[in-house]
């Protein structure tokens, strides 16, 4: 059992693209345990096969699926909604000796595939290939769902406030007011005096992932309330054809503005900069797919009839 001695004041929430990405890779591999993602797996598996990724799949191919800590950086204080590119920049800057050590540790006791052995002899090349794989994987497997994932995390973070913020996080997690206990963990360890970051991840499913050795304290990824309804319920997930036509991010913007959103709201929902959101909205507006209407000091964008037709909603 893992236990964390802390006060509610030492806890903060964040939503991490890399936490979602790595959890999704586990869900992709452990089909029986993560059965609730079957429709997502069926949709993305052919596209991922076409990409021919090698390094990233090897990272989670270990029988015990131990994820190297450097691949899930804990968001910095004051930055609870990091962008993927910022987290990838942090990963790319990981000291090479730490990269090699954590890759070796992940496979200790088992024969690693060549894609993992490479990290012992040429960690710089291995890391570059891994970052490239993550970008490609995210665009195909995670980006089309990003508005839905971010909305679930935002809802979780908004509702978990006050003294009860840590109650009923997960069936395997217990909070008694001073100790947070992760009962499903095999090791018996206690951590005290560390800050705790809670990372609601809709891909975490039945599992709680723990990170105990980050310079920014400990972290738990856990499924937000109601995550099970995300996969089959209607919601802002662009189809493959729309993503192929517009690109994953622009398709996500067009899908999101089925209801009116300001530039800032689009940026927050998709985890992109305001400038990037503005660029995509302007391009969609110029193409006649969205229209902007002033609402007080803001301009809110919504799809036109043509935009609805492109998204298949007409």
Same domain, 138 and 269: no
Same domain, 90 and 120: yes
Express each pLDDT in 178-192 by its tens digit: 888 887 666 678 888
Phi, psi (deg, nearest 5) at residue 212: -115, -10
CA distance 32 to 22: 18
Same domain, 207 and 276: no
Q: Within a domain: residue 6?
A: yes
Best CA proximity match to 267, nearest among 286, 244, 249, 247 = 249
Same domain, 151 and 93: yes
**Is there a contact between 231 and 253 (Cβ–Cβ < 8 Å)?**
no
State the residue range of the domain holding 109. Answer: 2-222
Same domain, 261 and 156: no
Same domain, 34 and 141: yes
Q: Which of 171, 192, 222 is the last residue of a domain?
A: 222
Beta bridge partners of 298: 295
Best CA proximity match to 144, nearest among 224, 52, 236, 81 = 236
Q: In Å, how far are 151, 249, 265, 273, 277 from 299, measured between CA atoms?
A: 21, 20, 11, 17, 13
Best CA proximity match to 103, nearest among 126, 80, 84 = 126
Same domain, 131 and 216: yes
Q: Within a domain: residue 81?
A: yes
Same domain, 158 and 288: no
- Confidence check: pLDDT of 156 > 60: yes
Helix residue ranges, H only, the chain: 17-29, 38-51, 55-59, 84-92, 96-106, 114-121, 123-137, 146-159, 240-246, 248-256, 263-270, 274-286, 305-310
Q: Which of 171, 191, 222 is the last residue of a domain?
A: 222
Q: Within a domain: residue 234?
A: no
CA distance 87 to 48: 22
Q: Looking at residues 130-155, what average pLDDT do you find?
A: 88
Cα dihedral: 76, 37, 144, 239 (round 10) = -170
Q: Which of 187, 222, 257 is the last residue of a domain?
A: 222
Q: Within a domain: residue 235?
A: no
Same domain, 141 and 213: yes
Express each pLDDT in 68-126 by its tens digit: 999 999 999 888 889 999 999 999 999 999 999 999 888 887 888 999 999 999 999 99
CA distance 106 to 264: 40
- Confidence check: pLDDT of 291 > 50: yes
Same domain, 265 and 208: no
pLDDT band at 313 (very low <50, low <70, confident <90, very high): low
Same domain, 185 and 254: no
pLDDT band at 3 (very low <50, low <70, confident <90, very high): confident
Number of domains in the chain: 2
- Confidence check: pLDDT of 232 > 60: no
Q: In Å, how far are 257, 276, 300 from 253, measured between CA atoms?
A: 6, 10, 13
Q: CB atoms < 10 A from the CB of 151, how many?
A: 17
CA distance 119 to 96: 9
- Confidence check: pLDDT of 278 > 90: yes
Q: Within a domain: residue 233?
A: no
The helix (run of H) or strand (run of E) holding residue 313 is none
What Rg, from alpha-carbon coordinates, does the chain have?
20
Higher pLDDT, 226 or 74: 74
* All residues at 6 or more sequence positions from 256 whose CB lies less than 8 Å from its CB, including other chains: 147, 236, 266, 269, 270
- Confidence check: pLDDT of 235 > 60: no
Q: Within a domain: residue 198?
A: yes
Same domain, 117 and 69: yes
Q: Domain of 249: which CATH number?
A: 1.10.10.10
């Amino acid at each position: 059992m893992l236990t964390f001695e802390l006060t509610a004041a030492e806890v903060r929430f964040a939503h991490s693209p890399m936490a979602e990405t790595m959890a999704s890779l586990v869900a992709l591999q452990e089909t029986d345990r993560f059965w609730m993602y079957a429709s997502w797996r069926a949709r993305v598996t052919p596209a991922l096969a076409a990409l021919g990724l090698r390094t990233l799949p090897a990272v989670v191919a270990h029988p015990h699926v131990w994820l190297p800590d450097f691949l899930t950086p804990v968001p910095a204080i004051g930055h609870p909604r990091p962008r993927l590119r910022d987290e990838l920049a942090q990963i790319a800057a990981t000291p090479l000796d730490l990269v090699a050590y954590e890759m070796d540790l992940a496979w200790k006791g088992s024969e690693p595939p060549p894609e993992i052995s490479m990290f012992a002899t040429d960690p710089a090349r291995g890391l570059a290939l891994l970052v490239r794989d993550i970008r490609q994987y995210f665009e195909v497997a995670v980006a089309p769902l990003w508005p839905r994932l971010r909305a679930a995390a935002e809802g979780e973070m908004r509702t978990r406030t006050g003294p009860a913020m840590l109650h009923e996080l997960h069936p395997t997690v217990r909070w008694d007011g001073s100790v947070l206990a992760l009962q499903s963990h095999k090791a018996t360890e206690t951590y005290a005096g560390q800050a705790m970051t809670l990372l609601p991840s809709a891909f975490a499913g039945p599992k709680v992932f723990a990170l105990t050795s980050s310079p920014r304290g400990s972290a738990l990824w856990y499924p937000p309330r109601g995550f099970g309804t995300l996969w089959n319920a209607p919601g802002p997930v662009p189809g493959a054809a729309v993503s192929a036509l517009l690109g994953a991010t622009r398709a996500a913007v067009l899908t999101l503005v089925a209801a009116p959103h300001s530039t800032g709201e689009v940026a927050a929902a998709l985890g992109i900069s305001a400038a990037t959101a503005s660029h995509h909205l302007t391009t969609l507006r110029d193409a006649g797919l969205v229209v902007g209407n002033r609402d007080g000091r803001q301009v809110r964008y919504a799809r036109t009839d043509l935009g609805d037709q492109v998204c298949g909603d007409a």
